[in-house]
Amino acid sequence: MRASRRRVLQGLTAGALTGGMTGRVSAARARLPDPTHMLWYRQPATTWTEALPIGNGRLGAMVFGGIARERLQLNEDSLWSGGPYDPINPAAHAALPEVRRLIAAGRLKEAQALADRMLIGTPRTQMPYQPLGDLILSWPGLLDADGRNYHRQLDLDSATATTRFMINGVEHRRTVIASPVDQVIMVRIEADRPFDLDIALASPQPEAQAVATDDLLTLTGHNGDHAGVKGVLRFAARLKAVIMGGTMTANDGLSIHRARSVTLLLAMATSYRGFEDQEGDPLAIVSRAIAKAQARGAARIAAGALVEHRRLYRRVALDLGTSPQADRPTDERVRADRAVADPALATLYFNYGRYLLIACSRPGGQAANLQGLWNESVKPPWDSKYTVNINTEMNYWPADVTGLGECVEPLVQMIRELAISGARTAREMYGARGWVCHHNSDLWRATAPIDGAPWGMWPTGGAWLCTHLWDHYDHHRDPAFLRSVYPLMRGAALFFLDTLQTDARTGLLVTSPSLSPENEHSPGVSICAGPAMDQQILRDLFDQVGRAAAILDTDSAFARQLAAARARLAPDRIGRDGQLQEWQEDWDGQAPDPHHRHVSHLYALFPSEQITVDRTPALAQAARKSLEVRGDQSTGWATAWRANLWARLQDGDHAHRIIAYLLGPQRTYPNLFDAHPPFQIDGNFGGTRAIAEMLMQSREDSLLLLPALPRAWPNGSVRGLRARGRMTVDLLWRDGQLVSATLASALPGKRLVRLGEVQAEVMLAPGRPIRLSGTMLRSSDRLQAWTARL
């Protein structure tokens, strides 16, 4: 027990979680929180985007840090509205040929109007993600009290939210963690003198009811209907209160009198067991979780959560330098809007992105949605669902590169489920084999088009998701994983073999009907054939399925079909203004919004590698022109995408200017959540990947070191980035120049290492890291001898 308590104290900055320990921290520690691993504030949160997020992948809470009243806004990742439903428009299959004919004839307005009536799903919307409710803690003795020395923080390294303050000489301390091991949220409340506390659970969900008995508070209810789809889920939350000293009574909630410390254990669950099974017993689930957690005790819960979090979080360490700005509270650093003068803010943002992914996407839970895990509204923006025309994919851009491969598992499971429902959509709507997913989905894995023809008729979401399966494989090179997901990739490709149309003018293959996500090529009209993004995604998908088939020694005839179809896909084109065309026609100059947030036609530059500065310079220059026209400042997630694109163009200073805007008050809330606005978590994840992309890029078996290092980060280091081929990369640089690179791989083989214009082949062997000198890498005349010594 003593060793366990020591581990707790090492990981938690604001007090022990075991009875009898005061957990005081030194004044120096309180004054100097780590500026790269700590969000901290001098006042409680007054809005949701000031509160601090905790999560264990499945359960989440937003901690406000109030003095006399504390609110923890609660989420459980499977609580969505509605239930299983089939949104496929029964008229779609018969209408599809006419829509295609109108598109081929150039009668695009007519095609879009027909598609809107006949192809869009019924209902035209999907189900929204829901809040479970609130845990409300009230201290009657602190009403109207003026807290002094107030300090509120989120320690990213220990995944702990802490509040502390003084009232009349009495120190109050509150600590919140979410345990992925014990599947509970634990709240520890302490003060130097006994205190009174009232505890309540409330929910905005239909017919929710809280019942208190002895030391337990149980909230039950069910989800709501939406868009004519009946709610079928039941949910339960159970709270166990453990007090030291004092007494406790049950009324509408729990009332505690004269306690010296209180530990709250909170479990939440729904009846959801899968998109086709809602027969779980949430009350039994939470009862078991509370009983197990109580038996383990607070210290073991805290120690287990700390070890499990750090197992992932500490795989990567980044240092971009610091400045006096870093000593200010987090909200002041964001308001200062001076990322150049505060390089540690970019490090904090990077670490926060990794923290958020760990907290909202763990094996066994749902994939990160539009707000990750955290949502307080029964009508959240864009339903807080899965938008797979960029946003869901962006959520996972940093996962493998920053050492969080396990966090991809919920996305993989979602793709497995989408392939099931998507096969029905492919068959009934298109008369095709394989599977398809349009631009949105939800907990119930709906795959038909929604929102109307201007946005909904984009059919390539499932194909894009499948490229993540290949990327995950390519980073880890696990044949068993590839074998398990190959049918999903194959099914996505098969759908397009059946549905691609031949352009009568060129003889090339194009998607139809489709659109360039959420953009219009002429006022009010989006629908078209063969937008650039579709063609680019399919080039990747067909290539990756063919490579997977070769690795697995299977499906050679199918791979040949894909190769032949890939060769006939319409290529990227450069328009009359030197830009990369977004559509088959040179419509870019006539598009109503030249600064549109989506830059879909630049998929080939990032996240794909079809366009690169060295291999396709003309297309790279055209992509640069498109970016210049679009502009740097956009919505939060779109700003993050632009930073990644400029990093791929190896323009570090330009990428940094965009990062500086992203981290400023226009695009970042006080709690560092990304501001679309409103909040969307994809901007956080896209920004995290952009910072990594500026420091290291890998494609196939080649590695680019410091490809887009900005002048604003002249000195720094990073440890633990992951490159393709199960390789770990550590970098150290000074005065803008690489000092050393340490490479380690669990797989043997050659790697091509590039630093600027210099490149060298190195041979890696498991268990034998190699350290490359930046001086030697820069000395091309000495390169041959250096390579031989390696």
- Decide if domain 92-122+361-593 falls under CATH 3.40.50.2300: no
With bands split at pLDDT 50, 70 and 90, how would you rate the model's confidence at 622?
very high
For the chain, the structural domain boundaries read: 2-81+131-314, 92-122+361-593, 705-789
| Residues 503, 335: Cα–Cα separation, whole Å | 52
Residue 419 in tokens:
């392939």
Residue 485 in tokens:
């997901």
Is the pLDDT at 338 greater than 70? The verdict is no
Residue 681 in tokens:
């978590």
CA 18, 264, 307 angle in degrees (round to 5)?
55
More confident residue, 487 or 17: 487
Is the pLDDT at 25 greater than 70? The verdict is no
Is the pLDDT at 262 greater than 90? The verdict is yes
Question: pLDDT of 539-556, one tens digit each?
Answer: 999 999 999 999 999 999
36 Cα distance to chain centroid: 20
Q: Which of 2-16, 355-369, 401-415, 496-510 has the lowest mean pLDDT?
A: 2-16
Is the pLDDT at 14 greater than 90? The verdict is no
Is the pLDDT at 12 greater than 80? The verdict is no
| Residues 269, 289: Cα–Cα separation, whole Å | 10
With bands split at pLDDT 50, 70 and 90, how would you rate the model's confidence at 214?
very high
Is the pLDDT at 8 greater than 90? The verdict is no
From start to end of 357-442, where are the E strands? 386-387, 440-441
β-strand pairing of 749-755 with 702-705? parallel
Question: pLDDT of 395-404, one tens digit each?
Answer: 999 999 999 9
Is the pLDDT at 19 greater than 70? The verdict is no
As a whole number of angstroms, the longest Cα–Cα distance in the chain is: 83
One-letter amino acid at 587 equals W
Is the pLDDT at 781 greater than 90? The verdict is no
| Residues 372, 679: Cα–Cα separation, whole Å | 10
Is the pLDDT at 415 greater than 60? The verdict is yes
**Among residues of the chain, what percentage have pLDDT more than 90?**
92
Q: Which residues contact 90 (CB under 8 A, 6 or more apart)?
A: 122
Taking phi over 0 as left and psi of -120 to 50 as alpha, with beta for the rest, 419 belongs to: alpha
Average pLDDT over the chain reads 94
Give me the pLDDT at residue 24, please: 38
With bands split at pLDDT 50, 70 and 90, how would you rate the model's confidence at 789?
very low
Domain spanning 705-789, CATH architecture: Sandwich (2.60)
**Among residues of the chain, what percentage have pLDDT more than 70?**
94
With bands split at pLDDT 50, 70 and 90, how would you rate the model's confidence at 283?
very high
Question: pLDDT of 769-780, one tens digit each?
Answer: 999 988 877 764
Domain spanning 2-81+131-314, CATH architecture: Distorted Sandwich (2.70)
Span 172-186, mean pLDDT?
98
Residue 258 in tokens:
């004269």
Give me the pLDDT at residue 339, please: 60
Question: pLDDT of 683-705, one tens digit each?
Answer: 999 999 999 999 999 999 999 99
Q: Which of 10-24, 112-126, 302-316 has the lowest mean pLDDT?
A: 10-24
Is the pLDDT at 182 greater than 90? The verdict is yes
Is the pLDDT at 419 greater than 50? The verdict is yes
With bands split at pLDDT 50, 70 and 90, how would you rate the model's confidence at 11?
very low
Give me the pLDDT at residue 683, please: 98
Give me the pLDDT at residue 13, please: 32
Would the pTM count as exceeding 0.85?
A: yes
Paired with 165 in beta bridges are 172
User: Which residue, among 120, 228, 81, 98, has the nearest Cα to 448 in the 3D structure?
Assistant: 120
Residue 787 backbone dihedrals phi, psi, to 5 degrees: -65, -40
| Residues 218, 208: Cα–Cα separation, whole Å | 10
Span 360-378, mean pLDDT?
98
Given a contact cutoff of 8 angstroms between Cβ atoms, the answer to whether 187 and 197 are in contact is no
| Residues 689, 728: Cα–Cα separation, whole Å | 16
Give me the pLDDT at residue 774, please: 82
Give me the pLDDT at residue 763, please: 94
Residue 66 in tokens:
């109030």
Is the pLDDT at 464 greater than 90? The verdict is yes
Q: Does 380 sit behind a cis peptide bond, omega within 30 degrees of 0 on the bond before it?
A: no
| Residues 786, 741: Cα–Cα separation, whole Å | 14
| Residues 399, 403: Cα–Cα separation, whole Å | 6
| Residues 279, 29: Cα–Cα separation, whole Å | 49
Task: Return the C-alpha torsion angle 117, 118, 122, 125, nearest 10.
Answer: -50
